[in-house]
Chain A
């Protein structure tokens, strides 16, 4: 048996860097849009409109009970069958955002549920407008409470973006597949790529931690989550 040889794999670092950059872009785009979808659907589920609430509930259940791999293929082939020719990157972002949106909905709903009614009533008594109440009393405190769950979910999303290699979006895992078939060094390649993902998830957690400290200064001062 031959020994390990990481050098032939490491030689191709520009490829890996490019793949990692695409992974980061995928994760960022999907995180942002997933968060927006999640917040809207969570609000929709709690709204008085029965059909809207039902539609949002059905969306969440359908997405959370089917694999991401199948969802990606459905978006990929579904969009092209209605004549939309999109790049693999766009398709990947759409599929990931739809997926992340469902999980974010459940998390944000838990956050909204944790806001006490009397807080909203108190804010109304103080003469805050509907929008102000929604922003300062409902949305931000709700987000603050579910922030840890939300960020972990988005780290999982970044890891799941590796599945986009299956529709030839050239992100980190797809690059790894090319490199290992070029170099016949699958073990070294996937060890390195695994390490790269671990590094990416650490960086992402660090970023979220910084963002949290910036967004929720009260939490930082008290050192507790409300």
Chain B
């Protein structure tokens, strides 16, 4: 046996990696959230072409694994003449991934706002933009909050895939440590524990929000419950 046992230095390195995991999650949530908002709006657009292209985007992204998107960004973009760092590749792929899934969650929330609300707003002579931003979206936000928090768990977990393009977040720093001390089981158990510590509070928060929002099962919540992503959040 060469090398040393797992020590405080290693733990410090893992925590540093965890910091990057959090940073990457935030980048993915902010960037992906902005893109998802556009996707959701496009999905309920009155123009058929806009609706169809947003739908195609969602189908494309939801039909291919994040890992492949990650490889495409990291290895593929440079061959197109675009230089990307590991962080940029991971950020872009996660943004693409989040835009499709979160976009669908938010579209479901927008569509769950009762039709009568639209009609009432129309009767008050509000323009389409006013109807969307002053009447529908504020109600949709309330419906969308619990599943959105639930989806943040997915984001944190999926940042682990950035390790395959060499970005040193939590999973990758674990691999690096393991390469020097070769104690895979211990190292990965600690990594799993750190991920759990990051994700479990979000899961609990999401569940609490859900309970508070959904004491009476409305049409909206049943519809949201049929979404696979919400069922898993």
Name A's B-contacting residues (CB within 8 A).
1, 61-62, 64-71, 73-74, 77-78, 81, 103, 106-107, 110, 146, 148-149, 152-153, 155-156, 159-160, 162-163, 165-166, 173, 176-177, 180, 185-187, 190-191, 193-194, 197-198, 201-202
Closest to A154 in B: B228
Besides A65-B203, A73-B188, A149-B225, 15 other A-B contacts (C-beta < 8 A): A65-B196, A68-B157, A69-B163, A69-B171, A70-B192, A74-B188, A106-B232, A148-B226, A149-B226, A156-B228, A162-B67, A163-B65, A173-B68, A187-B79, A201-B63
Q: How far is the CA of A163 from the CA of B63 in the complex (A)?
A: 15
CB < 8 Å neighbour of A152 from B72, B164, B228: B228
CB < 8 Å neighbour of B68 from A153, A194, A202: A194
**Residues on B with beta carbons closer than 8 Å to the beta carbon of A67:** 157-158, 160-161, 171, 195
**Residues on A with beta carbons closer than 8 Å to the beta carbon of B228:** 148-149, 152-153, 155-156
Q: How far is the CA of A67 from the CA of B196 in the complex (A)?
A: 9
A-B contact pairs, 27 of them (CB 8 A): A61-B200, A61-B203, A62-B196, A64-B232, A65-B157, A65-B196, A66-B157, A66-B199, A67-B161, A70-B191, A149-B227, A149-B228, A149-B231, A153-B228, A159-B63, A159-B64, A159-B66, A162-B65, A163-B161, A173-B67, A176-B68, A186-B71, A186-B75, A194-B68, A198-B59, A201-B62, A201-B63
**Residues on B with beta carbons closer than 8 Å to the beta carbon of A77:** 184-185, 188
Closest to B160 in A: A67
B185 touches A78 (CB 8 A): yes
Name B's A-contacting residues (CB within 8 A).
59-60, 62-69, 71-72, 75-77, 79-81, 153, 157-158, 160-161, 163-164, 171, 174, 184-185, 188-189, 191-192, 195-196, 199-200, 203, 225-229, 231-232
A194 touches B64 (CB 8 A): yes
B203 touches A190 (CB 8 A): no
Q: How far is the CA of A73 from the CA of B229 in the complex (A)?
A: 24
**Residues on B with beta carbons closer than 8 Å to the beta carbon of A155:** 228
**Residues on A with beta carbons closer than 8 Å to the beta carbon of B192:** 66, 70-71, 74
Q: How far is the CA of A152 from the CA of B232 in the complex (A)?
A: 10
Closest to A107 in B: B231
B80 touches A187 (CB 8 A): yes
Q: How far is the CA of A190 from the CA of B69 in the complex (A)?
A: 8
**Residues on B with beta carbons closer than 8 Å to the beta carbon of A81:** 184-185
**Residues on B with beta carbons closer than 8 Å to the beta carbon of A69:** 160-161, 163, 171
